[in-house]
Amino acid sequence: MIRFDDVSKRYPGGHEALKQVSFDMDRGEMVFLTGRSGAGKSTLLKLLMLSEPLNQGQILVGGRNIHRLPANKIPYYRRRIGVVFQDHQLLFDRSVYDNVALPLQIDGYDKHEAARRVRAALDKVGLLSKEKLNPMILSGGEQQRIGIARAVVNRPQILLADEPTGNLDPQLAAEIMALFEQFNQIGVSMLIASHDLSLITRLRHRILTLDHGQLIRDEHHPSRSGATAG
């Protein structure tokens, strides 16, 4: 599903964020990406989102080299990917419903189909009863759930999350991770950057560890459903 083949990324000024990183991720797999601040986690996700160019190597998604996609194919590729950020990136001049509906509006979905999908996503994250509220009045955990609903509303094949529990207390963080596992169980491939080793180790999914831009460890654990990550 996803392959990093000898990938390096150097920023202007000479900082080498990733150094010859290689790994494969299977379709439907849930993988955690960890390492200290500055290890290269966010850069790796940005390369997958096509928000940064790479300097060396190739990244294949579904067998295609995404950094060689024609410009007119990039929007279609991005529709396959949902992204969850640590800071939510919500619009506080819009309701919960309108925040989640935004990707569907951009893609030109029919109003009735969009409404069905938005309410299904909100129901999945436990916020259907709050669709008319302004996100500003909700808790940090609820705001993160809005971000997750928005990321999955167009039913992406891949979900990327960059420190999605970084601002949450341990109980809320565990609840958010349980939500991610539910989406993974219906076939969504997931790559989640997190520095919370105590939490992600308990979940027993595969863990990739970065250090100064290098992939130094690739640990496979039996998943809680009994399957083995490949």
Domain membership of residue 128 (yes or no) is: yes
Average pLDDT over residues 204-218: 96
Q: What is the CA radius of gyration of the chain?
A: 17
- Host domain of residue 130: 91-155
Alpha carbon dihedral 5, 6, 10, 15, in 10-degree steps, equals 130
Report the chain's mean pLDDT, rounded to a whole number.
92
Average pLDDT over residues 200-213: 95
Domain membership of residue 119 (yes or no) is: yes
Domain membership of residue 144 (yes or no) is: yes
Tell me what pLDDT residue 220 has.
85
Rounded to two decimals, the pTM is 0.90
Tell me what pLDDT residue 223 has.
54
Residues of the chain with pLDDT > 90, as a percent, come to 83
Joined tokens for residue 69:
């996609």
Q: Give the count of domains, the chain.
A: 1
Domain membership of residue 212 (yes or no) is: no
Domain membership of residue 145 (yes or no) is: yes
Tell me what pLDDT residue 222 has.
60
Domain membership of residue 198 (yes or no) is: no
Residues of the chain with pLDDT > 70, as a percent, come to 96
Domain membership of residue 117 (yes or no) is: yes
Does position 141 have pLDDT exceeding 60, yes or no?
yes
Give φ, ψ of 201 to 5 degrees.
-65, -35
Average pLDDT over residues 160-165: 93
Alpha carbons 206 and 198: distance in angstroms, whole number: 14
For residues 226 and 10, the model is more confident at 10
Joined tokens for residue 155:
């039913």
For the chain, the three-class secondary structure string (H helix, E strand, C coil) is CEEEEEEEEECCCCCEEEEEEEEEECCCCEEEEECCCCCCHHHHHHHHHCCCCCCEEEEEECCEEHHHCCHHHHHHHHHCEEEEECCCCCCCCCCHHHHHHHHHHHCCCCHHHHHHHHHHHHHHCCCHHHCCCCHHHCCHHHHHHHHHHHHHCCCCCEEEEECCCCCCCHHHHHHHHHHHHHHHHCCCEEEEECCCHHHHHHHCCEEEEEECCEEEEEECCECCCCCECC
Joined tokens for residue 60:
């294949």
Average pLDDT over residues 179-190: 95
Poorest-pLDDT segment among 18-22, 139-143, 167-171, 211-215: 167-171
Does position 225 have pLDDT exceeding 50, yes or no?
no
Tell me what pLDDT residue 167 has.
82
Domain membership of residue 95 (yes or no) is: yes
Q: What is the pLDDT of residues 103-132, one digit of tens each?
A: 999 889 999 999 999 999 999 999 999 999
Please, are residues 34 and 209 in contact by the beta-carbon 8 Å criterion?
yes
For residues 111 and 222, the model is more confident at 111
Tell me what pLDDT residue 139 has.
93
What is the distance, to the nearest Å, from the Cα of residue 63 to the centroid of all Cα atoms in its chain? 20
Q: What is the pLDDT of residues 52-99, one digit of tens each?
A: 999 999 999 999 999 999 999 999 899 899 999 888 789 999 999 999
